């Protein structure tokens, strides 16, 4: 766990508070039901030593969509101000590469006022190590068909809700089996996403990822930036429904997200994968890592 003394915490409507102070009431729907949404962002230092949030607009746009899907009020400008206050404090207290969580819950049943937080902690040594060592991944079924979200908006496909208990349980299952992470597969055998990341794979000079929409997977901001930059650098980029066998046949498979960046899969379901540092380095650079 990050040491709270090296964290920054800002609360919507209150501004900066002591990072160790309590911020939620017992009847907050974020606690009692996981009813809310969040973003996980990366903070980097610019040339002038100021902390800045990578892809902040994309994160705020996705959080606007998540909050709308949940019918929770979201004032994007108030959130931008909250982020600015938290990030300025991060710069003032020394800065460095960091992870920022933006958390929005429906709030306490007794007040009906949403709870909003921006929470910044340094990037952990484990994250830095994973970027270098790559990931051992197992595939696990999510038990739903790859079009399960097509006619069912209440399933909240593509919404970054606070309800990550299943995702965390899957990661613990991976650890029990000696792996680092999971790639979820649909009941009909289609590669979906990781519990906290998008799956991207390459064949030659083509990058693939699973389509969002009916699959219910989260549209990844890192994958979108990667595809934009890779497309401009001459790569083909595609949305592809693939089986696990097709993933085994890929040149490189990555699990990617905002804070970890693209991390290459070095073992898939117990089979070692040859690492391709040339391709990996190019894709990391195109993704801003
Ligand atoms: N898919 C899931 C389920 C996630 O939780 C995340 C990020 O946490 C991602 C994909 C990757 O999203 P992003 O690249 O915007 O961080």
With a 6 Å cutoff on the Cβ, whether 221 touches ligand 1 is: yes
pTM: predicted TM-score of the whole model, two decimal places: 0.96
What average pLDDT does the segment 139-164 reach? 96
Q: Give the position, in ligand 1's atom list, of the atom nearest the Cα of 41.
A: 16
**Is residue 161 packed enough to be buried (19+ CB in 10 Å), middle (13-18) or exposed (0-12)?**
middle
Q: Give the position, in ligand 1's atom list, of the atom nearest the Cα of 218.
A: 1
pLDDT at 5 > cutoff 70 = no
Q: Tell me the longest C-alpha to C-alpha distance in the chain.
A: 56
176, 85 Cβ separation under 8 angstroms: no
Closest-CA residue to 262 (of 245, 274, 276):
276
With a 6 Å cutoff on the Cβ, whether 257 touches ligand 1 is: yes
Q: What is the pLDDT of residues 231-287, one digit of tens each?
A: 999 999 999 999 999 999 999 999 999 999 999 999 999 999 999 999 999 999 999
* CA of residue 205 to ligand 1 center, whole Å: 24
With a 6 Å cutoff on the Cβ, whether 220 touches ligand 1 is: yes
* CA of residue 212 to ligand 1 center, whole Å: 12
What average pLDDT does the segment 181-205 reach? 98
Q: How many residues does the chain have?
A: 289
Joined tokens for residue 44: 């980097």
* CA of residue 194 to ligand 1 center, whole Å: 8
- How far apart, in Å, are the Cα atoms of 100 and each of 42, 105, 220? 6, 16, 16
pLDDT given at position 1: 47
**Is residue 96 packed enough to be buried (19+ CB in 10 Å), middle (13-18) or exposed (0-12)?**
middle
Of all residues in the chain, what percent carry a pLDDT higher than 90?
97
Of all residues in the chain, what percent carry a pLDDT higher than 70?
98
Tracing tokens 């905002």 back to the chain, one arrives at 258
119, 100 Cβ separation under 8 angstroms: yes
Task: Report the mean per-residue pLDDT for the chain.
Answer: 96
Q: How confident is the model at residue 3 (pLDDT cuts 50, 70, 90)?
A: low
* CA of residue 156 to ligand 1 center, whole Å: 15
């Amino acid at each position: 766990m990050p040491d709270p003394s090296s964290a920054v915490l800002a609360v919507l409507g209150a501004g900066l508070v002591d990072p160790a102070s309590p911020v939620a009431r017992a009847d907050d729907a974020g606690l009692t039901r996981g009813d809310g949404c969040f973003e996980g962002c990366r903070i980097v230092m610019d040339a002038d030593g100021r902390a800045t949030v990578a892809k902040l607009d994309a994160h705020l746009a996705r959080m606007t969509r998540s909050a709308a899907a949940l019918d929770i009020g979201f004032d994007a400008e108030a959130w931008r101000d909250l982020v600015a206050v938290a990030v300025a404090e991060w710069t003032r207290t020394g800065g460095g590469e960091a992870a920022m969580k933006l958390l929005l819950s429906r709030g306490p049943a007794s007040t009906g006022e949403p709870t909003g937080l921006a929470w910044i902690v340094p990037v952990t040594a484990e994250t830095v190590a994973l970027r270098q060592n790559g990931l051992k991944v197992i595939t696990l079924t999510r038990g739903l068909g790859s079009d399960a979200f097509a006619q069912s908006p209440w399933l909240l496909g593509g919404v970054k809700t606070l309800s990550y208990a299943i995702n965390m349980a899957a990661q613990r299952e991976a650890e029990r089996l000696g792996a680092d992470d999971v790639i979820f597969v649909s009941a009909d055998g289609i590669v979906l996403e990781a519990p906290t990341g998008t799956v991207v794979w390459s064949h030659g000079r083509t990058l693939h990822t699973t389509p969002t929409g009916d699959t219910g997977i989260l549209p990844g901001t890192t994958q979108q930036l990667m595809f934009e930059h890779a497309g401009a650098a001459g790569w083909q980029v595609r949305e592809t429904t693939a089986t696990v066998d097709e993933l085994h046949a890929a040149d490189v498979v990555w699990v990617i997200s905002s804070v970890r960046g693209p991390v290459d899969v070095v073992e898939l379901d117990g089979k070692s994968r040859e690492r391709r540092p040339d391709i990996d380095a190019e894709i990391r650079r195109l993704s801003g890592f």
